[in-house]
Chain A
């Protein structure tokens, strides 16, 4: 669980490795909450939702009732 080591990833050389995040950066990043993530995820879900409604009412329903 310790992070007091260099971050390793699939890279061959240390300079290709992403820097690990420290406490201060994490605090700074989270100061206002993950607003950007909320925006991105909300847009994605909204597109999904609107697309689903469009398919339901513009494609599925006009193809006729079955049962």
Chain B
């Protein structure tokens, strides 16, 4: 168990150590594109910074956090040490090397292509290589999660896999499906071109492959938060999980519906027909379903807790909840942001309606609300829940943790809501500088300034997070507090095989993927759409980079 704990702790520390500088970059980016004076106001620095911010937040923080969380959940929910610890450490080192490579390439100015890559813009092969090591390396973790679950099932025949373990394995499987797109793009298109092995890039194909990743990756980020909702929150609130079965079903639905829907990120792209776009828009509606189910299940679980704590009447259970618990507070704040972000998502996926907001600040606002808000705030809560368990040192302190969560919530709301509005007004995203003397842009000025204030609050909150974690880490070891998961109202004694494993769901997803992506990817073998690449760091030698 010691080794499993150390494994989790190292992953968490990498995640949060990357998190803080990435928040600093984010706050500065908001400043440079505002009407306010900004230090180092150089557009090149902005684009490099956006690349670094996105790479850090989307790939590094999330992957390391999910991996650490996975090891912790495996050890605690199965009640035995993680199997394959050596492989886990190798995975850790590979991912760390990949991170350093990618970060170095961006800092050197050779990779300002943003974390979504945007071929035919071409970055240095160090950047793609780093991304490949990080994402590809995390596949070792995927295998380890599946291995730990199946070996436990073998040792405990007929027993239901604990919901937490079932869910983290679902996360791993989802990540494997999600990462397949970007890994194929990296290995098949970007790395060969950046190494000079090929001369051209199929931008349409590359975008299509990336879209396989682009939506599902958000659910990969989201899953630890949902696992906390289902397995940690009811316990922290002092209640019971309303339905174990619904929890399993929710995670299964996430696997099935979060991958074959990525084309809603390509609604505005010219390389796909409207019919294929509608298919995936249709499927995207169903990815809202598990979240809508979760909202009810979580409310019901909280109601049980609130009523047990003396809450009376229709809504009296809400004030009766232990809001002083970071996990409970974070969930409340998270659900508010999830509601707003989910609302934005329902707009984005609405087929033609996507045209209203595509690539405007609305989109930035949407995924900051979902990921930067609803998900990350649960990462904080998980960290606060886990740190005392892993280190045996008490949290320093709970009051500070509450401040930190509230500040993060306030900062994200103040930053994101004005973005939604400027997006509707037509503000393009990822722009280094706006000309506020233009009347069209000037109207957005006050809103942009408000969101800068939100960014500053987020920065304060991120610093506070690190302060809390460091102080807790430096405290004295005096706790023996094993992690306990929430008990369902009716703890499962047996569950059908379909809800105790993933074979059926993987088969279904494969069919759906062929249906949704078979033609869109296959068409590029017929279309003549290869184009030259454009190296962002300039020609590697003379004559146009050749």
A and B touch in the complex (CB under 8 A): yes
Hey, which bits of chain A sit against chain B, CB under 8 A? Answer: 1, 3, 5, 7-12, 16, 18-22, 25-26, 28-30, 34-41, 44-45, 47-48, 51-52, 55-56, 59-60, 63, 66-67
17 contacts between A and B (CB under 8 A): A7-B235, A8-B482, A8-B484, A10-B395, A10-B401, A26-B240, A29-B304, A30-B489, A34-B300, A36-B315, A36-B317, A37-B242, A38-B300, A47-B339, A48-B342, A48-B343, A51-B343
- Are A11 and B398 touching (Cβ within 8 A)? yes
CB nearest neighbor in A for B237: A18
User: Which residues of B pack against A, CB within 8 Å?
Assistant: 162, 235-240, 242, 274, 292, 295-296, 299-300, 302-309, 314-318, 322, 324-328, 339, 342-343, 346-347, 350, 352-353, 355-356, 384-385, 387-389, 394-395, 397-398, 401, 424, 479, 481-484, 487, 489, 491
B347 pairs with A52, CB closer than 8 A: yes
Q: Write out the residue numbers on chain A whose beta carbons fall within 8 Å of the beta carbon of B355.
A: 66
Asked if residues A26 and B489 are in contact (CB atoms below 8 Å), the reply is: yes
Give the residues in chain B near A56, CB-CB below 8 Å.
350, 353
CB distance from A67 to the nearest CB of B (A): 7
B242 touches A34 (CB 8 A): yes
User: Once bound together, how far apart are the Cα atoms of A43 and B424, in whole Å?
Assistant: 25
A21 touches B239 (CB 8 A): yes
Cα(A29)–Cα(B241), bound, Å: 12
CA distance A10 to B324 in the complex (A): 11
Closest 10 A/B residue pairs (Cβ): A12-B394, A18-B238, A37-B299, A25-B308, A29-B307, A34-B300, A37-B300, A21-B308, A18-B322, A41-B296
**Which listed residue (A10, A19, A36) contacts B314, Cβ 8 A?**
A36
Cβ contact of B292, chosen from A10, A19, A45, A67, cutoff 8 A: A45
Interface of A (DSSP majority class)? helix
- Alpha-carbon distance A40/B462, docked complex (angstroms): 31
- In the complex formed, the residue of B with least CB distance to A35 is B314
- Could you tell me if A21 and B388 are in contact, using CB atoms closer than 8 angstroms? no
CA distance A9 to B238 in the complex (A): 10
Query: Nearest chain B CB to A11's CB is how many angstroms away?
Result: 6
Assess the B304–A41 pair: CB atoms within 8 A.
no
- Are A3 and B326 touching (Cβ within 8 A)? no
- A39 and B240 contact, CB distance less than 8 A: no
Neighbouring A residues of B318 by C-beta, 8 Å? 36, 40
- Residues in chain B near residue A7, CB distance under 8 A: 235, 238, 484
Chain B min CB distance to A30 (Å): 7
Q: How far is the CA of A34 from the CA of B306 in the complex (A)?
A: 11
Is A40 a contact partner of B353 (Cβ separation < 8 A)?
no
Q: Which residues from chain A contact B274 at a C-beta distance below 8 Å?
A: 67
A41: contacting residue among B299, B308, B325, CB under 8 A: B299
Contact of A12 with B398 in the complex, beta carbons under 8 Å? yes
Residues in A with CB closer than 8 Å to B162 are 1
| Pair B304/A45 contact, Cβ less than 8 Å | no
Bound Cα distance A41, B242 (Å): 14
What's the least CB distance linking A25 to chain B, in Å?
4
CB of A41, distance to nearest CB on chain B (Å): 4
Partner of B346, one of A26, A48, A59: A48
